[in-house]
Structure 1
Amino acid sequence: MGHFPLCIYFIVLPPRKKMFSIFCFFKIHSKHYWMGMVSRGRKALVVWFMFATLLGTLASTEGLTVFAADNNFVSIHNGNGNRRKLDDIAGSISIDCGIAEDFSYIDRTTGIPYISDSTFIDTGINKVISARFISQTLQRALLNVRSFPKGKRNCYTLRHPEGKATIYLIRASFMYGNYDESDRLPEFSLYVGVNFWDTVKFDNASHVVIREILHVPLMDTIDVCLLDTGLGTPFISALELRHFHNSSYRTQSGSLVLFKRFDIGSTTNRIVRYKEDAYDRMWFPYNIPSSVSINSSFTIDSLNDNEYKLPSTVMKTAMRPLDVNDSLDFELDTGDPSLEFYVYMHFAELEKLQRNQHREFDVELNGNIWAKSIVPEYLHSKTIFTNDSVRGTKLKFSLYRTINSTLPPILNAMEIYLVKDFLQEPTDQEDVNAIKDIKSSYRIVKSWQGDPCEPMRYSWDGLNCSYNGYESPRITSLNLASSGLTGHISPLFSKFTTLEYLDLSNNSLTGEVPDFLSQLVNLRELNLSRNKLSGLVPASLMALSKNSSLTLSLDGNVDLCLTAPCKEEKKKKKNNIVVPLVSALVPSLIILAALIIIWRCKTKQSIHQGQATVVKSHKREGLLKSNNQQFTYSEIVSMTKNFQSLIGKGGFGMVYHGYLNDGTQVAVKMLSTLSNQSSSQFQNEAQLLMRVHHRNLASIIGYCNEGGNMGIVFEYMAYGNLENYLSDKTKVLSWKERLQIAVDAAQGLEYLHHGCKPPIIHRDVKTANILLNKNLHAQLADFGFSKLFPLETVSHLSATVIGTVGYLDPEYYISQRLTEKSDVYSFGIVVLQLITGHPAVIKSHDNIHIVEWVRPILTRGDIRDIVDPSLEGNVNSNSVWKALEIAMACAGSKSIERPTMNDVVVDLKQCLEMANDIRHTWEIGSQTMQSIDYSGANCTELEMGPPAR
């Protein structure tokens, strides 16, 4: 075993704590060393002595060796006091998912200590793979899995040891191994924080799937999340995090997902990783066709430290052409021309060249010069990469020697990474910290994991957030009613500077109502009812409540006082209640009896007369109560200059241009008739808009409900509706502007379907109901016919058919069974209009429906006849094909085959990203669409539909 150290151990056990410290002093090669360890569990003693047995192998090691795992820390110091990390494996987290809590071990191959995942996640169940998949060669971390049969999103939270804004390698490993004994291979999504990382799927039960990404976190923690996509229960076998030097793997933007990492010319045919690779990268053997391997017995980079810290085992082998006069050629399939890659080639000269020998070569990639005049250094690694990404369905590499070279080109190792632009920002860091602190301080039992607001469809229960493009979402609504809260109202709530709604009702909160709640300038509703609060309510809150800028609910707090003095009045009432009560009791009862007799007589005379008035008043005034600003009718007349400028007409109201007192432009919709149906629809729209808040839904500023005058004041949209904009041939929307409008409208629908509880179906999605502001950002409008799903268990509603010719879902029309997929159909028609520039019903073609017009052209495969001619070919063909695929999928005749709006938003954003690449303009003239049966995209006969609104 070499030099086994003689250790003197000192163990420190602090009282009433599970933490303990061990120190060992020993001597190796006449040098003095000491080792220290701090740990939580006594089981770590076993690990400690295992380390001691390995110290003999460190006889020639000077300096510091560090192993870090969660809160365990092991270090070695030499007698000179010098200290350094053993490369960067120290700044790492190695998790074996699914092993018992407090259990840990050292991997027999790598020597890396693995720990349980119990402190990183609080959901899921531990499982063991089937015995028939267990073998002696199988990595220990693949024997167990943590499975997540409950919840749509389950997240590991990793607090990276080196802090944010530095490079980390994140590796997630998966092996199904029939752990659930169902023999059904699952498929699910993997996210880093709020952004999609990759899809996890398997070829067979023994298939090991490994996903790696080089990522620079912007937050204090990294969330690795598994999302259930409905194709099987997500699970994970192992999760690892490694820290890299910032000087390596630089990109212009985005993270780097591993595509290939090759140990070229390997003579062992095994995967190389830690300890041979200081960063614990995994290098897979690869042999280039028509080439020969060369190798060296000497160590590479023994005297120099390379920033990439390439393993000598990998770099001491290489390949050259079989014929020394030939080039070194190979290619890799990417499958998608729109994907961007970064390539890193690693070289080291393995042969001691004579004076008359010289090795120099150029590298071509896809026929273009990628790197020139490469001269490898003897036994020293050199890495070549470019600052720009590369693309192509194939990556074709050719290394050929220059005219001055006497030797053929060589290649030792190579890495290829896929660029992953994480466009969606996580929730504002202050909001994240505050909500997590609240969860911890109140010990809230909720499945709150990962980012609070993103992805939108998986936001935390009880939260609503504001979304503004790719900016960080902010928490605007917090519902903690009936959450078992105790103690005082925490000052942590004051950190939510954008909070509009706060519900702390039906808990056991005590103490006084804090004044800091009045400092939340955006707060519109505060519900503190049914708690155990006491004392005087702050005058500042009462003032906000009186001027209607805040709806304040305090009922059910028996010890709470609304006005001063508080304690004196209660004490006086307590001391003097008996005598006045007795003296007043008899005459009070006599008076009360007389009043009851008079009241009953009056009621009988007027009950029929007053009933209609009460009902009418309730319908017309009670339904429009909200936290939004209330305008008088005279203010409406003033802001519209007596309804001077008519800018639109809705299904049940006229829309006028107006100005607020501060000069803000607004659009005012007034109820045009007083019929019960129009009034009901008008109030339905008002109530819905007061309930939902999203940047892509019409933004309500206030309302008017005075006498027979009902109106809603909206944010002014400078460019009107999309239908009018598309029909105006003097205004041409670019392809990217059209896609952005589609994304905006899709996000609005996605919020209605998946962000609202209960979900909301719009029922009249069309270009006339999509409004455009001065920046051509879109908002979905006109919610008069919208429906709420009353229960999550309801899969459809039986509803009277409502809609507009050309946009109406044929399945809904026939069955009268309303689902969210009816909106999806209508949205598909909107996307087709954005692509073609045609209306839903093309009158110039014998009133043909737009789907029927598009289908035969798609069959011919030339999209140039489909795209709006006004674009003059300035579009990305790949982007157009994808947009058509999305639209036709949405407009399918069978609702079950249509995508959800979640999927539509994701696909449209990818489509928008493709639009930035102008190199693929019309180069694909005869492509065929993928995986879509267009024969099913049918539409109802026009005469069968409802009249146009």
Structure 2
Amino acid sequence: MSQTFKPFRLPLLGGFALMLLLVHARDDQSGFISIDCGLAGNSSYAEKTTGIKYIADETFIDTGERKSVLPEYSNRYQQPYTSLRSFPEGNRNCYEINVTDGYKFPYDAFDRIWNGYYDNDWTQLITTSTIDNSNNFRPPEIVLSTAATPKNKNGSLEIRWLPSDNVTEYYVYMHFSEVEKLPGNQSRQMYINRDGKLFEKSLVLRNYLGVITSYNTKALSNGGQYNFSIFKFENSIPPILNAIEFYMLTQSKTSSQTYKIKKNWQGDPCVPQAYLWEGLNCSYRENESPRIISLDLSSSGLTGEIATSISNLEMIHTLDLSNNNLIGPIPNLMSQLPNLNVLNLEKNKLTGSVPIRLIDRNKSAAAWWGFKRKRHGVVAEAKDIIGTSVESRKLQFTYSEIIKITNNFKRILGKGGFGNVYHGYINDTQLAIKMLSPSSVDLLVRVHHKNLTSLVGYCNDKTGVGLVYEYMSSGNLRAHLFSGSSSNILTWKDRLQIAIDAAQGLEYLHYGCKPPIIHRDVKLTNILLNENFQAKLSDFGLSRTFPSNDDTHVSTVVAGTPGYLDPELNEKSDVYSFGVVLLEIISCRPVYSSREHERIHISRWVSSMLAEGDIYGIVDPRLERHFNTNAVWKAVEIAMACVSPNAIKRPTMSQVLVELKESLATEIAGTRQSHETELTNSIELTNPSVR
């Protein structure tokens, strides 16, 4: 199977290593599928240069928009590169392709074509050991098994490349893997120049057979030849390079046809976990396949009777079929779902009653039948709706019920924007109730994401206005970072995952809500942790919607917390605040510190440390250097980009999220390699050679 995916960039040169790995044309294409992303309809063709047969991608995907290269550029490229599919909305866009179990597919996960590249001043390093190529770019292991190094031990690797024109912008990706098992006192430390200017300031290969990829985040264009030089640091062994790729940035025009769907449902519903199908949740138990436990099919235009196939959802806990046009009786098979305890059938045309066995089983659980008794426009009472497991149902409570839930507002959990947050109970379920202004309710009841605190219900009557949230049992992030306990320090991996969780919540507010929402008070105390230490953003009392036009600023009052505030108010204000939070996560230092009677902001302190090249001095010393240095460098660079004084230079939350995930992947790969090395050393020590 061959997959030619071109979502954003088109390959000009697939890459080069030190041996010829694949040829441009394949004589035998049996078992391969070559997809032209963005090709219209069900058409197909054979590309003239390579002879590869391509088919349209429309039968493999339901999302995205077809686009094509501008006519004046189209004859520069091979035919597959004159059309593309872009994904301006949503973050789960999967091609659904059948594969054969046990069949051997290409070496390259993305089916890139790799060509050999030689230089008389280079020599070759080769390994037959297994290389961990699991980073996001997935360079093939066979490509990484060879590396170039200068013949002169004090020399550099010089790569010169002349593009086809002087106007196209390019991205370059350099892949490095340490293929030599070095003594403990040696490491390969390098830096890279492009056209005499610094391209990569520090690249350290510490992990034997691990992979690091260096690349530019902004397109390169110099109107001429590209010259890259890879140098070693003083006292380091010579530099290496395993492979390099160049990609061109193309211009496109919108196709006349777009495709719209109600839900983004391609690929596996539960995997990857960060990109679940819209409207469902899954369980992820150790040594078990993920299973769907919550399914929201509300307002999905469903008609006819409830399908009997729903009985296959044996692990389902929550099922929402409300606001459809379902007819007929409620089938008895519902009572055969052993874990179902929340069922919403409201606003349908169903007849009959809920199976008695299901009612009996759920008397103490959260059973919401939708068409049961109502009083004064409020669906049932709180005690009838919410039981031992709290679900994200936007239920309306009376003020008297809020008083009862909070025991007359007895315990304050915290003071957030526009109101206090109180602790409460419904049966055995803990909740957090925030009292706020009526204007905030309409905004907040429509916001739902796994990395935002789940809204269980709300109160909006003449007596008072409040929100009922899930209870986050592990408290806020600040309490864990600045805890005096030395036995409970968050690991570097945990910190990165928490940062990713928070970034996903912000990305949803900015791009998943219509109109988009600015949080306006992103800080450590507003990042809450549940029992599994999953992070969720809280406190939307200060939130405001903002126009979708990036050049339009919001006219509203300035609000937030000193140290996290950006003078300008748009979505990049949240990016600034998140950058400050990320610096706190990395360094475990307060936003402001004092030095010689001067108040120093954390971003200024980090900048001064970076000027001295002291990355270890920035990181929380309690971590005792138990982290991958490259992962830390990337995280620091992301944070400093976020706190740029110029809002235009700050990345979007989507860009921040991508970079953080890459940092986490680097950390995980480094940890895995370190563990394997320690295990190997342990085996060697306990199993001496037989003499």
The answer to whether the superposition gives a TM-score over 0.5 is yes
> In structure 1, what residue type is equivalent to 2:581?
V
Q: Which residue of the other structure, out of 367, 380, 394, is the alignment partner of 1:626?
A: 394
Aligned residue number for residue 681 of structure 2: none
Q: Report the CA distance between 1:871 and its aligned residue.
A: 3.9
| 1:491 and 2:373 aligned | no
Aligned residue number for residue 112 of structure 2: 211
Contact 1:877 1:920 in 2 (8 A): no
Helix, strand or coil at the partner of 1:169: coil
Report matched runs for 1:20-35 at 5 Å.
Answer: none
Aligned residue number for residue 157 of structure 1: 96
| 1:822 and 2:573 aligned | yes
C-alpha change, 1:341 and 1:873, in structure 2 (3 Å) is closer
Q: Report the CA distance between 1:769 and its aligned residue.
A: 1.8
> In structure 1, what residue type is equivalent to 2:352?
L
Q: Report the CA distance between 1:701 and its aligned residue.
A: 6.2
Q: Report the CA distance between 1:896 and its aligned residue.
A: 3.0
Q: Which residue of the other structure, out of 448, 462, 465, is the alignment partner of 1:692?
A: 448
| 1:800 and 2:525 aligned | no
Contact 1:829 1:891 in 2 (8 A): yes
Helix, strand or coil at the partner of 2:559: coil
Larger Rg: 1
Contact 1:463 1:475 in 2 (8 A): no
C-alpha change, 1:289 and 1:147, in structure 2 (3 Å) is same
Aligned residue number for residue 299 of structure 2: 481
Aligned residue number for residue 344 of structure 2: 526
C-alpha change, 1:836 and 1:416, in structure 2 (3 Å) is closer
| 1:93 and 2:33 aligned | yes
Aligned residue number for residue 620 of structure 2: 868
CA deviations 1:744-780 (Å, max 9, x no partner) are 3223323333344554332211112223456554332
Aligned residue number for residue 502 of structure 1: 320
> In structure 2, what residue type is equivalent to 1:828?
G
Aligned residue number for residue 840 of structure 1: 591
Q: Report the CA distance between 1:829 and its aligned residue.
A: 0.9
Helix, strand or coil at the partner of 1:692: coil
Q: Counterparts of 2:281 and 2:555 in 1: how far apart (Å)? A: 31
Helix, strand or coil at the partner of 1:211: coil
Q: Which residue of the other structure, out of 70, 89, 105, is the alignment partner of 1:168?
A: 105
Aligned residue number for residue 257 of structure 1: 139
| 1:853 and 2:670 aligned | no
Q: Which residue of the other structure, out of 870, 890, 908, is the alignment partner of 2:660?
A: 908
Q: Which residue of the other structure, out of 805, 810, 816, is the alignment partner of 2:567?
A: 810
Q: Counterparts of 1:91 and 1:728 in 2: how far apart (Å)? A: 57
C-alpha change, 1:659 and 1:534, in structure 2 (3 Å) is closer
Q: Counterparts of 2:485 and 2:580 in 1: how far apart (Å)? A: 23
Q: Counterparts of 1:473 and 1:820 in 2: how far apart (Å)? A: 35
Q: Counterparts of 2:83 and 2:465 in 1: how far apart (Å)? A: 60
| 1:735 and 2:552 aligned | no
Report matched runs for 1:630-641 at 5 Å.
Answer: 633-634=403-404, 636-637=406-407
Q: Report the CA distance between 1:637 and its aligned residue.
A: 3.4
CA deviations 1:683-720 (Å, max 9, x no partner) are 749x83785241x33356677899779684642433x3
Q: Counterparts of 1:703 and 1:103 in 2: how far apart (Å)? A: 53
Q: Counterparts of 2:72 and 2:405 in 1: how far apart (Å)? A: 77
Paired residues in the alignment total 532
Contact 1:488 1:510 in 2 (8 A): yes
> In structure 2, what residue type is equivalent to 1:536?
G
> In structure 1, what residue type is equivalent to 2:524?
T
Aligned residue number for residue 386 of structure 2: none
Contact 1:889 1:898 in 2 (8 A): yes
Q: Report the CA distance between 1:804 and its aligned residue.
A: 0.9
C-alpha change, 1:826 and 1:105, in structure 2 (3 Å) is closer
Q: Counterparts of 2:574 and 2:156 in 1: how far apart (Å)? A: 49
C-alpha change, 1:705 and 1:466, in structure 2 (3 Å) is farther
TM norm structure 2:
0.58
Report matched runs for 1:110-509 at 5 Å.
Answer: 117=57, 119-121=59-61, 142=79, 145-148=82-85, 152=89, 156-160=95-99, 162-163=100-101, 167-169=104-106, 211=112, 254=134, 256-258=138-140, 341=177, 389-391=209-211, 449-450=266-267, 463=279, 465=281, 474=292, 476-479=294-297, 481=299, 483=301, 485-495=302-312, 497-498=315-316, 500=318, 502-503=320-321, 505=323, 507=325, 509=326
Q: Report the CA distance between 1:127 and its aligned residue.
A: 6.6
> In structure 2, what residue type is equivalent to 1:653?
N
C-alpha change, 1:491 and 1:878, in structure 2 (3 Å) is same
Q: Report the CA distance between 1:88 and its aligned residue.
A: 8.9
| Identity among equivalent pairs (%) | 37
> In structure 2, what residue type is equivalent to 1:887?
A
Q: Which residue of the other structure, out of 327, 352, 356, is the alignment partner of 1:536?
A: 352
Aligned residue number for residue 223 of structure 2: none
Q: Report the CA distance between 1:121 and its aligned residue.
A: 4.7
C-alpha change, 1:504 and 1:253, in structure 2 (3 Å) is farther
Contact 1:840 1:850 in 2 (8 A): yes
> In structure 1, what residue type is equivalent to 2:566?
D
Q: Report the CA distance between 1:807 and its aligned residue.
A: 1.0
C-alpha change, 1:689 and 1:120, in structure 2 (3 Å) is closer
Contact 1:98 1:126 in 2 (8 A): yes
Q: Report the CA distance between 1:250 and its aligned residue.
A: 7.0
Q: Counterparts of 1:132 and 1:711 in 2: how far apart (Å)? A: 55
Q: Report the CA distance between 1:805 and its aligned residue.
A: 0.9
Contact 2:39 2:66 in 1 (8 A): no
Contact 1:684 1:785 in 2 (8 A): no
C-alpha change, 1:108 and 1:735, in structure 2 (3 Å) is closer
Contact 1:474 1:498 in 2 (8 A): yes
Helix, strand or coil at the partner of 1:798: coil
Q: Which residue of the other structure, out of 737, 741, 745, is the alignment partner of 2:502?
A: 745
Q: Counterparts of 2:477 and 2:434 in 1: how far apart (Å)? A: 21
CA deviations 1:821-874 (Å, max 9, x no partner) are 222111111111222322212245533322233333333333344333444444
Q: Counterparts of 2:588 and 2:603 in 1: how far apart (Å)? A: 13
Q: Report the CA distance between 1:806 and its aligned residue.
A: 0.8
Helix, strand or coil at the partner of 1:148: strand
Q: Counterparts of 2:212 and 2:132 in 1: how far apart (Å)? A: 19
Q: Counterparts of 1:650 and 1:515 in 2: how far apart (Å)? A: 46
TM norm structure 1:
0.44
Contact 1:152 1:458 in 2 (8 A): no
CA deviations 1:404-448 (Å, max 9, x no partner) are xxxxxxxxxxx9789xxxxxxxxxxxxxxxxxxxxxxxx988775
> Unpaired segments of 5 or more residues in structure 2?
1-25, 115-127, 160-170, 185-206, 215-229, 231-240, 245-259, 377-391, 675-691
CA deviations 1:88-118 (Å, max 9, x no partner) are 9543334566778676677899887665556
Contact 2:449 2:505 in 1 (8 A): no
> Unpaired segments of 5 or more residues in structure 1?
1-85, 172-191, 198-209, 214-247, 265-285, 291-325, 344-363, 369-386, 397-414, 419-442, 555-561, 564-613, 615-623, 672-677, 813-818, 922-949
Helix, strand or coil at the partner of 1:883: helix
Q: Counterparts of 1:647 and 1:100 in 2: how far apart (Å)? A: 56
Q: Counterparts of 2:276 and 2:530 in 1: how far apart (Å)? A: 27
C-alpha change, 1:287 and 1:790, in structure 2 (3 Å) is closer
Across the aligned residues of Structure 1 and Structure 2, the Cα RMSD in angstroms comes to 6.1
Q: Counterparts of 1:789 and 1:523 in 2: how far apart (Å)? A: 38
Contact 2:321 2:346 in 1 (8 A): yes
Q: Counterparts of 1:697 and 1:888 in 2: how far apart (Å)? A: 25
Q: Report the CA distance between 1:735 and its aligned residue.
A: 3.3
Q: Which residue of the other structure, out of 582, 587, 595, is the alignment partner of 1:831?
A: 582
Aligned residue number for residue 724 of structure 1: 479
> In structure 2, what residue type is equivalent to 1:715?
Y
Q: Report the CA distance between 1:803 and its aligned residue.
A: 0.4
Contact 1:764 1:785 in 2 (8 A): yes
